[in-house]
Chain A
């Protein structure tokens, strides 16, 4: 209990003191996970919407894949992306391995199915005739989709929260593809693991608290947006 308490105090101290390394780690965590969530939205929302509004052979299989993807183990994604970006791998020429770019890519693979799956569920949860009604009121197909997305706002923001939550909290993928290099690819989760392993429990707890606070802050904003009338 003492350890927890002193960890909490150290977290506050580190934040108040503006420890440059902690700030850098926190900033990188936000950038990597935020960036991955943003790209996951750009990919996942159209994919989920498309799956919800169209009918084609193999659609059910694709939905099953998306749903499976919502629970992808981060280490498996990390391994896959590592192999992909390995110097002799198919994307080795990009020289992305052990860079924040690789971490964004890995987290994108984790977040995109979550966003797509929840968007799909959100759109399918709307009244089935709403799209026809919008078209019949003179909407172009794009205008209709825009209104449908607006109507599915609750689900879409839940998708953002779930996507961001999945990536900000994962450690397996970023560890594998980023390498936890100090000053380059170290993020809150990998730093926490490292510090705990080295017996620096107070610092590990402090990093954990910062991670929780960050997650809480982001979700606070998103929830405010979601629950706005």
Chain B
């Protein structure tokens, strides 16, 4: 584990008497990419403003490279970090002048400024735009300029606040790939704020889920994705079926729970009587015709039900099956045609025990 670069302890930010950020503890290790995800209004941008030293928290303390951050340290620390906000927020003048802005704040002499600006413009594939007026760029180009303006500072800590939120999907995907390559190569410690789970999974070494100003879960992205800590995190991470149930038995790494009279198997051993929320991702549910379903296995779950909703979702179909409880499933266009899915049809929903993630509920 790399040493910690920045650490927050007991941080609170209040706005109009309302606490918008409440972080008992959060740290970012050197060379780590921490993805901060959460719905709109979760406090993500406020957290980033605190981390970029432009917003003084109302309570708590911050440590940078192990040293406490005092009021007089903010400007010098701002000059060791760089932030890219949501909009590109470019100024008048040429692209090169915009990218040089942070360097001029730091008093970097002109020859070096020019050299570094051109290096990063080339690195981001926009060297040919150097003399263009920054205000005349397309959204994707402008965002690349904003990234270059941050990278040119060669910061110890890079903070990105939903930098791709306003871009069209192809531009965003290309830029994300480039960003990932640069971050991997440069090893820059990064905090990346997004409300897009996919971006977080793609870039983050670790993922913090922020909700209502609090960190609900902070873990490896796969772990947050597969084993959300709370119902809210599960919902945000795309779990569509969340069932209330009680564990009625366990053994051999499997817990059996009862949900509205239906018995389901879930991976992991929980003591009998534990009240749980069972989370099931729609992509883990397989649908088949009732008569010819897959062979049941001991670790599998098979539930019969009726299709009550069928909605196209991108290249897939979102199917809601009513079987005493409502199960949500995603099926491919091909499966949809093969099964001849329609509302009112009886189907068999199967999913592995390992697909069912259990969250214990307090009594």
Contact = CB atoms under 8 A, between A and B. Distances in A.
B82 A137 contact: yes
B16 to A, nearest CB: 11
A137 B83 contact: yes
A137 B85 contact: no
A147 B92 CA distance: 10
A132 interface: yes
Given A132-B85, A136-B54, A229 B133 contact: yes
A130 to B, nearest CB: 5
8 contacts: A132-B85, A136-B54, A137-B149, A137-B150, A137-B153, A138-B153, A139-B78, A150-B92
Interface in A116-130: 127, 129-130
A226 to B, nearest CB: 12
A227 to B, nearest CB: 13
B46 to A, nearest CB: 11
Contacts of A138: 75, 78-79, 82, 102, 105-106, 153
A138 B156 CA distance: 13
B91 A136 contact: no
A140 B81 CA distance: 14
Contact of A133 (B53, B79, B85): B85
B88 to A, nearest CB: 9
A151 B149 CA distance: 17
Given A129-B89, A151-B92, A136 B133 contact: no
B159 interface: yes
Interface string A139-159: 110010001001101000000
A135 interface: yes
Contacts of A130: 89, 91
B92 A136 contact: no
A109 to B, nearest CB: 33
Nearest to B48: A136
Interface of A: 127, 129-130, 132-140, 143, 147, 150-151, 153, 229
Contacts of B79: 138
Interface centre among A133, A136, A139 (most CB of B within 10 A): A136
Nearest to B52: A136
B308 interface: no
A136 B75 contact: no
A55 B36 CA distance: 30
A128 to B, nearest CB: 10
B87 interface: yes
A92 to B, nearest CB: 47
Given A132-B54, A135-B78, A138-B153, A147 B133 contact: no
Given A147-B101, A150-B92, 15 more contacts: A129-B86, A130-B89, A132-B85, A133-B83, A133-B89, A135-B54, A136-B85, A136-B159, A137-B82, A137-B102, A138-B78, A138-B102, A143-B105, A147-B91, A151-B91
B301 interface: no
Contacts of B54: 132, 135-136
Interface residues of B, number: 26
Nearest to A148: B91
A139 B87 CA distance: 18
B49 interface: yes
A102 B52 CA distance: 50
A150 B91 contact: yes
Contacts of A153: 92
Contacts of A136: 49, 52-54, 78, 81-83, 85, 159
Contacts of A147: 91, 101
Interface in B184-241: none
A190 B133 CA distance: 47
Interface in B307-350: none
Interface string B88-108: 010110000000011001100
Contacts of B106: 138
A150 B104 CA distance: 15
A153 B92 CA distance: 10
A38 B91 CA distance: 26
Contacts of A137: 78, 82-83, 101-102, 105, 149-150, 153
Contacts of A127: 87, 89
Interface string B135-168: 0000000000000011001000001000000000
Contact of B87 (A129, A143, A150, A151): A129
Contacts of B159: 136
Interface centre among B54, B92, B133 (most CB of A within 10 A): B54
Interface in B61-86: 75, 78-79, 81-83, 85-86
Contact of A140 (B85, B92, B105): B105
Nearest to B93: A150
Contacts of A229: 133
Contacts of A143: 105
A180 to B, nearest CB: 44
Contacts of B101: 134, 137, 147
